[in-house]
Amino acid sequence: MRKEEVVACSFDSWYNSFKDYTTESLIFDLPKEVLDFLKNAPLILPKNLIYMRKDNTEFSESDEDNWTDEDADDNKRPNFPDFEKVINKGIESLGGYAFAKLNWSAPKDATWVSFGNSLKCYSAADILLLLKASDFVSYDILAP
């Protein structure tokens, strides 16, 4: 196959032509700092992300027992407030939940880390957690 044939199969290349026949989707470019986080950082979620359960119960760090002194490492945690806002608005526009996917792969091997072992994402935190925990997605990012 030629390179342009492979690129034509990428989700972002064909979605607009077939959007009337497929699931409603939003396409976002991942900022460099998010890509770097997905490529290199350990599995630590960005600070300021709030987890939203299906029953709309919010969980934040203040709700947790303080088992260790994790606040000392807070400055090492990534922070993507603008990206988080864009993703959360996008999820809201889709009815409150979304399915995370890159151009080639979905994080279907990472359900073990999500609430209810589901790929249904209610927030940017859910999406980043699944993408970060997925070997399929890491292959897409490291070997595009």
Tell me the C-alpha distance between 64 and 89, whole Å.
26
- Tens of pLDDT, residue by residue over 60-83, are 555 555 545 455 456 667 789 999
pLDDT at residue 55 is higher than 80 = no
pLDDT at residue 45 is higher than 80 = no
- Tens of pLDDT, residue by residue over 15-42, are 999 999 999 999 999 999 999 999 886 7
Residue predicted with more confidence, 95 or 56: 95
- 127: pLDDT confidence band, cut at 50, 70 and 90? very high
User: Domain spans of the chain?
Assistant: 27-142
pTM of structure:
0.75
pLDDT at residue 100 is higher than 90 = yes
The pLDDT mean for the chain works out to 82
Amino acid at 128: L
60, 63, 141 from 144: Cα distances, Å: 34, 39, 6
Residue 39, token pair as written in the block = 């490529």
Q: What pLDDT, on the 0 to 100 scale, is given for residue 78? A: 79
